[in-house]
Structure 1
Amino acid sequence: MKTTRLHDKILIFMMIAGIALSLFCFIKGDRDKDQDHHIKGKNEKMEHTKYSGVDIITNTDDEETYRSAIHYPKFQGERLNREIGQYVKSTEQKFHEELGKGDQTFLKKRPAVFYLTFDIYPVMDHIYSIVFHEESYYGGANGNQRVKVFIVDVENDQFINQTEMIQNTEQAKEKLYHLLLNAFKQSKQYGPFLFEEELENKMKQDGAYANMYLTNQSFVFIFDKYEVTAGAAGTPEISLSYDQVKNILTEKWADRLSIIPDKPEDLTVPNGDRGKESPSNPPAEKPSSPPSKRVALTFDDGPHPQNTLKILNLLKKYEAKATFFMLGSRVDFYPDITKKIAEEGHELGNHTWDHKDLTTLNSAEIRKEIRDTNEMIKKTTGREPTVFRPPYGAINDQVKRMAGMPVVLWTVDTLDWQSHDPHAMLQIVKKNVKDGSIILMHDIHESTAEAVEPVLKYLKDEGYTFVTVSELEQH
């Protein structure tokens, strides 16, 4: 009898211990999951691009006191990645150091923002100019804007120094200064804001060529905000054609650049010749009579090389049209995906070039964000975007005036960027959708692509017809 009771006690003890151990593992696993989720939000997310040997890494963060969006290239070579990585890390550290000095209570009301974006310009086979744009704003104060240029040879894992391109003579330096001065004076955009003395001093410095980059048509000099112009000019860029600088190039680079065709196509020059436009695709035909229940699906921040294609296939399966609010920088990276969006009859929307909060920018900067994106979308698809959505939904009177097209926000936010949970997204739609709703999603997230079919099926079963936002406004 005693043995039986002892055996029972041992069993009970083991059961209690097992339950305690399971509970401990569950709690620890849940904590680990939370930690993994926190870390995952800051991990690198790599995507392939149209440029040979160049991928793109994106890292976004939306916290209580700040928002950040960091984009940078990844190469196959260790040296290129190491030095680019060090630059990216140092800029992010500087931002967080300044952020720590700010009034945290105020920052919760008006979060700081940090953007690190880049443009890529093909020069010739396996040689690219990488132009970083760094911008930070602390609680509504005047923003800091800086540029950083790297010219890379991806095949040989090397950086190219700009000083080896221009002759190291006083005559060459003087010639270059006067070329830039004349170009500034002829520029309606930058001329009124030029400080001639500052430009002359800048071009006499040892690092005068540090922010010079090449396209396959020209040499471009980009200057920091306030460096040689008043702040209203933003970060001015002055282009000098190969023909203009041919007499001051080193022999090595004169030889290298002579192999480039006279009229190469350069898809990435923001304000340059965009080339011939392809024939416009006709808009989707309007239904003969408006259905009783209509809903507009919208996708922001793309295109994405995998997720957008999945979403397009699902939209085709459910005979649905949607509106894609695209970033100009991503249209440049993924032109084939953008063309497919247009070819399948979806509405093209402008979401700025690289997702900046427009309410923190001046009029020239806002105009450039919108204009460059319009031009890139039209160059890629042959069609102008017809609607505009400001990043973060941040809007003021100045942004409205400068948009140049209808400004469209949303009525149902799936919070896909936050939850990354397809089931949660569907529940939000079920709870909030009604006739005339505009649903916000982001086609850069894999979890959103997974949520699209359940959302489409539910809405179709509920009798909704899928239209673009412009079609929605027409009825």
Structure 2
Amino acid sequence: MKAFVLLLAAGVAAAQPACDKPVYLTFDTGHMGVAPLVAQTLKKHNAKATFFLANEPTQSGGTSLDDSWATWWRERAGEGHDFGSHTWDHDIFLADIPGVDGRVTRFKFRTQAGIQAPVVRELSAEQYCASLKKVGERFTAMTGRPLAPVFRAPAGRTSPALLKAAKACGFAHVGWAPAGFLGDELSSRTHPNAQLLEKALRDIKPGDILVAHLGIWSRQDPWAPAVLEPLMTGLEQRGLCFAPLREHPRYAPLFKTP
């Protein structure tokens, strides 16, 4: 009888529903200096996240998608995270460029990542699509898995015409909630870690998409894991959990194989 009770209790525990208050933690690439700490923290909390990849300069002198990081990306893929494109060269949208007929088929960007000097350039819709897809080709080469059909424009800057061009080549844009801007891009002097943590714990609500980075060159006090760890713990104490974008109501249909 005692054994039956124990088995019944175990069955009840196993049948407990999944968390019904998800938030969607996402990371854009950066200098990658905190990437191992981010991975460690996610594993500690058994949390799934979504990563948006660009080929950015790293603290080690390489780039975030070079061979030295292939094992790291492969391990994250094996853990069941989601992955999207962040454009190959980290192209920050500046403006649409209308043609003589008024149609927008070209765009102006500030191409800049980390410590790189900015370069203003123009790309056609086809070239922008090629940039999104190049990330996927590299990701598959590193991990053996396809990239998800989602992207995040650097700095979150887009236009209706740019989104239309990306959609035409199979990519849906992912932004973030106002409270989900976690502030690791901001100055440590004016936005210290304690302030960022307090704001996030106060304002984040179920369903929000959160955004942070795998290392910001200009921030003197690293955001991760100083804020990431207590943030995840604090949100869990509020009954929230962490889910990948494939579980988000808006994006889930994109992850289903045809």
TM-score norm. by structure 2 comes to 0.66
Residue of 34, 44, 52 corresponding to 1:317: 44
Output the CA distance in 1 between the equivalents of 2:126 and 2:215.
28
User: Does the CA-based 8 Å contact 1:357-1:390 persist in structure 2?
Assistant: yes
Matched, 1:341 2:69: no
**Change over 3 Å in CA distance of 1:430–1:303 after alignment to 2:** same
For residues 267-308 of structure 1, the C-alpha deviation after alignment (integer angstroms, 9 at most, x for no partner) is xxxxxxxxxxxxxxxxxxxx995532111111112471x411
Secondary structure of 2:41 counterpart: helix
Residue of 425, 428, 450 corresponding to 2:196: 425
Secondary structure of 1:372 counterpart: helix
Kindly state the Cα deviation for residue 331 of structure 1 after the two structures are TM-superposed: 1.5
What is the aligned-residue identity percentage? 29
Output the CA distance in 2 between the equivalents of 1:309 and 1:320.
15
Q: Which amino acid aligns with 2:49?
A: A
Output the CA distance in 2 between the equivalents of 1:451 and 1:457.
10
User: Does the CA-based 8 Å contact 2:55-2:90 persist in structure 1?
Assistant: no
Output the CA distance in 2 between the equivalents of 1:303 and 1:419.
16
Output the CA distance in 1 between the equivalents of 2:55 and 2:184.
22
Output the CA distance in 1 between the equivalents of 2:182 and 2:54.
20
Residue of 218, 223, 232 corresponding to 1:456: 232
Residue of 24, 31, 38 corresponding to 1:296: 24
Output the CA distance in 2 between the equivalents of 1:447 and 1:290.
29
Q: Which amino acid aligns with 1:388?
A: F
Residue of 440, 443, 466 corresponding to 2:214: 443
User: Does the CA-based 8 Å contact 1:377-1:385 persist in structure 2?
Assistant: yes
Residue of 89, 104, 117 corresponding to 1:354: 89
Residue aligning to 2:165: 402
For residues 319-377 of structure 1, the C-alpha deviation after alignment (integer angstroms, 9 at most, x for no partner) is 11111111145212521221122122111121111211245232132122112111111
Q: Which has the higher helix share?
A: 1
Secondary structure of 1:447 counterpart: coil
- Can you give the 5+ residue segments of structure 1 that lack an aligned partner in the other structure? 1-286
Give the count of matched residue pairs. Answer: 188
Q: Which amino acid aligns with 1:324?
A: F
Output the CA distance in 2 between the equivalents of 1:375 and 1:313.
26
Kindly state the Cα deviation for residue 470 of structure 1 after the two structures are TM-superposed: 2.3
Matches of residues 73-84 of structure 1 in structure 2 within 5 Å?
Answer: none
Residue aligning to 1:415: 183
Q: Which amino acid aligns with 2:23?
A: V
User: Does the CA-based 8 Å contact 2:25-2:209 persist in structure 1?
Assistant: yes
Residue of 351, 365, 370 corresponding to 2:127: 365
Residue of 148, 152, 155 corresponding to 1:392: 155
User: Does the CA-based 8 Å contact 1:388-1:405 persist in structure 2?
Assistant: yes
Q: Which amino acid aligns with 1:437?
A: D
Q: Which amino acid aligns with 2:39?
A: L
User: Does the CA-based 8 Å contact 1:302-1:324 persist in structure 2?
Assistant: no
Structure possessing the higher relative contact order (Cα contacts under 8 Å, 6 or more residues apart): 2
Q: Which amino acid aligns with 2:138?
A: M
**Change over 3 Å in CA distance of 1:378–1:289 after alignment to 2:** farther
Matched, 1:472 2:248: yes
Larger Rg: 1
- Can you give the 5+ residue segments of structure 2 that lack an aligned partner in the other structure? 1-14, 57-63, 94-106, 109-122, 217-221, 254-258
User: Does the CA-based 8 Å contact 1:328-1:376 persist in structure 2?
Assistant: no
Q: Which amino acid aligns with 2:238?
A: E
Output the CA distance in 2 between the equivalents of 1:392 and 1:288.
39
Output the CA distance in 2 between the equivalents of 1:451 and 1:344.
22
Residue of 302, 307, 319 corresponding to 2:34: 307
TM-score norm. by structure 1 comes to 0.37
